[in-house]
Structure 1
Amino acid sequence: MKIKSLHHIAIIASDYERSKEFYTQVLGFEIMQEIYRAERDSYKLDLAINGQYLIELFSFPNPPARPSRPEATGLRHIAFAVDDIQEAVAYLATKHIVAEPIRIDEFTGKKFTFFSDPDDLPVEIYEG
């Protein structure tokens, strides 16, 4: 098998409208398409950055909670590249989102930090 790229990341939100606002209004994702699937009582929202499809955001009735973090089995975090991490952290603060202290990747020398989405999913921003 030859994988050529990442197609998308799927996220199930406990509060669809709150997560929709977070990913679009706070993180700046563009809505490509939003579909309501009546048979599943579920929304599916396709989100993009710079025209690149990256996230499917779902709503489902009463989804179970994920095991505690940070080191539970499964998806550990999602990460997004930024040009200026200080600027990104300052912007998040204006939205009342607290990022962890900025760290330096010991292998690349690049700056990074983490914050959480509305469902406490760890989100990393990485400078470079």
Structure 2
Amino acid sequence: MSIKMMHHVCIQTEKYEESLEFYTKILGFELVKETENFHRRDFNTWLKLGTFMIELQTAKKGERLKQWSSLNEGIVHMCFLVHNIQEEFDRIRKLGYKNFKVKNGETIYKVEDGYLFKIKAPEGTEIEIRDSQV
């Protein structure tokens, strides 16, 4: 196999400023490059966390994006691994972010050999935070 690693995921948003703030301030991504007026888009931006990157871009001028749905085929969520699930949950809440997904009345819940919680990014992308590998 010649594939070396996963390079990036591209996320389109109509809430560019909110999404940029979410990925940089809440999840800790580093802003690598922000390009204005990129191929009929207001912005095309590269964000990096470790070796993983997100290409965050606005819709092309004159086009409206459809809202994200977990019923779409393809990628349903992105997941990030942390050392301590409660500390990460508390850190995000202290930053003022409140869009957590509740399942069976709980925000943090047990799955297999660990715990996880999910949050929604401003553009609708579901982000899973977990403390154990599969």
Match of 2:109 among 93, 103, 109: 103
Contact 1:36 1:42 in 2 (8 A): yes
- The AA in structure 2 aligned to 1:57 is L
Structure 1: which 4+ aligned runs deviate by more than 4 Å? none
In structure 2, relative to structure 1, the CA distance for the partners of 1:83 and 1:9 (3 Å cut) is: same
Q: TM-score, normalised by structure 2?
A: 0.80
The percent identity for this pair of structures is 29
Residue 89 of structure 1 corresponds to which residue in structure 2? 89
How far apart are the structure 2 equivalents of 1:76 and 1:39? Answer: 27
Q: Measured at CA, do residues 75 and 16 of structure 1 come closer, stay the same or move farther in structure 2, by a change above 3 Å?
A: same
- For 2:64 and 2:81, how far apart are their aligned partners in 1? 29
1:57 pairs with 2:56 = yes
Residues 111 and 38 of structure 1, relative CA distance in 2, 3 Å threshold: closer
Question: Aligned-pair RMSD on alpha carbons?
Answer: 1.9
Structure 1: runs of 5 or more not aligned: none
- 1:6 aligned partner: 6
Aligned-pair distance for 1:55? 0.5
Aligned mates of 1:110, 1:2 — CA distance in 2: 33
Name the residue aligned to 1:68: 69
Structure 2, unmatched stretches of 5+, are: none
Shift of 1:58: 0.4
Change (3 A) 1:125 1:37: same
Deviation, 1:87, is 0.7
- Equivalent residue letter for 1:64: L
- Asked if the contact 2:44/2:57 (under 8 Å) is kept, the reply is yes
Asked if the contact 2:6–2:52 (Cα under 8 Å) also holds between the matched residues in 1, the reply is no
The residue type paired with residue 86 of structure 2 is Q
Deviations 1:10-42 (A, max 9, x none): 000111111111111111110111111354133
For residue 64 of structure 1, report the CA deviation from its aligned partner.
1.9
Give the Å deviation of 1:48: 0.8
Per the alignment, residue 78 of structure 1 pairs with: 78
